[in-house]
Amino acid sequence: MPIKNRFAELLPEITAWRRDLHENPEILYETHRTSGIVAERLRAFGCDDVVEGLGRTGVVGVIRGKTTGSGKVIGLRADMDALPIHEQTGKPYASKTPGAMHACGHDGHTAMLLGAAKYLAETRNFDGTVVVIFQPAEEGGGGGREMCADGLMERFGIQEVYGMHNWPGIPLGQFAIRPGAFFASTDQFEITIEGKGGHAAKPHETVDSTLVASHVVLALQSIASRNADPTEQIVVSVTSFETSSKAFNVIAQRVHMKGTVRTMSPELRKLGQERLTAIAETTARAYGAEAKVNYMKGYPVMINHGAETEFAAEVAREVSGDCAEAPLIMGGEDFAYMLEERPGAYILVGNGDTASVHHPEYDFSDEAIPAGCSWWAGVVERRMPAA
């Protein structure tokens, strides 16, 4: 099953959809225009059911095969939201919305799944039901969690679920995947160090919160180097450091820090939270200061299921001739919530030699569309072969 001829025929149309979405990016749950277009197209394709408003602004389409005797129901998910980044591609279809752009390729994901839905609704050459899922708010809003909380899996009887993301650096239209932990958990923290401010000429009369906070920053790196198993992955990053005074001659009363903790296992995630809290509090106390920690759980580790991952790789090999082993990725992905609810797998499709995702010069490569659409269709036709 190589790239399907139908998707080569549809490429100009799907490309036009993608560029329209690119030109009109919407952030988090504010995907009203995008969701409306998706629902309108799914109805035009002849989907058996189209449901809007799941997970606030998510859209779901149901396509039944020529037969449904197998009783199988497979979910296919694409994300729709953009990022709060000012685009610098200079493309004729660049974002018309200041401060927002599709810098992660969700416009391409949405367009590819729409293309697959059009094909599947035309052919229906499978025995079972496919549920196409268009999700808002992947970029930090937890749209996948919200759709699951709204009963996505139960309402549509989904038994397996599959997702796909484009990836710069992988050859155009090629695929990569790995079983088990794939994308990291993404927790955030805030640490406030409260000392005793004063004149810079009289440090002995103060408790220097800047000095204390600096020691905390350094000590936090011992979590990775001395607390975690060296064969596992954890990244602790302090990304913001702000003192309560901006004057040259004042020792600040307070320092506020922000950062992230990323891990590849639930156990290490728990350890990271425990050690960060203990290190901040005890280090501050040793210098006569006080630390207050606010630890905020983000996306969980995204874990691919073994059998479904091998199946996804088989389909990818049929489409492109090969499927590489993907690297561990310390970024987060809220498809993790769907994989906690149902078995399934998440795959990368190559975007070629382009700027990285989340970069103002990034753009999705339209040449990847036939491969991505063919993979979606292949998952359905291989998993639920026609009776």
Residue 375 has pLDDT above 70, yes or no: yes
Binding positions for Mn(2+) are 104, 106, 139, 165, 358
**Residue 1: pLDDT band with limits 50, 70, 90:** low
C-beta of residue 185 within 8 angstroms of C-beta of residue 332: yes
pLDDT band at 4 (very low <50, low <70, confident <90, very high): confident
The stretch 317-333 carries a mean pLDDT of 96
Residues forming beta bridges with residue 304, ordered by sequence position = 180
pLDDT in tens, 332-348: 999 999 999 999 999 99
What does the pLDDT read at residue 297? Answer: 96
Residue 145 half-sphere exposure toward CB, CA atoms < 13 A: 13
Q: Which helix (H) or strand (E) holds 294?
A: strand 290-299
Question: 100-113, pLDDT tens digit by residue?
Answer: 999 999 999 999 99
The β-bridge relationship of strands 73-79 and 129-135 is parallel
State the Cα–Cα distance between residues 348 and 327, nearest whole angstrom.
10
Query: Which pTM was predicted?
Result: 0.95
pLDDT score of 353 more than 80: yes
Q: What is the pLDDT of residues 18-56, one digit of tens each?
A: 999 999 999 999 999 999 999 999 999 999 999 999 999
What domains are there in the chain, each with its CATH number?
A: 5-183+301-383 (3.40.630.10), 185-296 (3.30.70.360)
Q: What is the Cα Rg of the chain in Å?
A: 24
Of residues 95, 80, 192, 71, the one with CA closest to residue 144: 80
Mean pLDDT, range 155-166, rounded to an integer: 98
Rounded Cα distance between 275 and 182, Å, is 24
Collapse the DSSP code of 232 into the 3-class scheme (helix H, G, I; strand E, B; otherwise coil) and give the result. Answer: coil
Run of H or E including 69: none
**CA angle, corner 102, sides to 101 and 103, nearest 5?**
95
Q: Give the CA-trace dihedral at 152, 155, 161, 164, to 10 degrees.
A: -40
Percent of residues, the chain, with pLDDT higher than 90: 98
Binding residues: 104, 106, 139, 165, 358
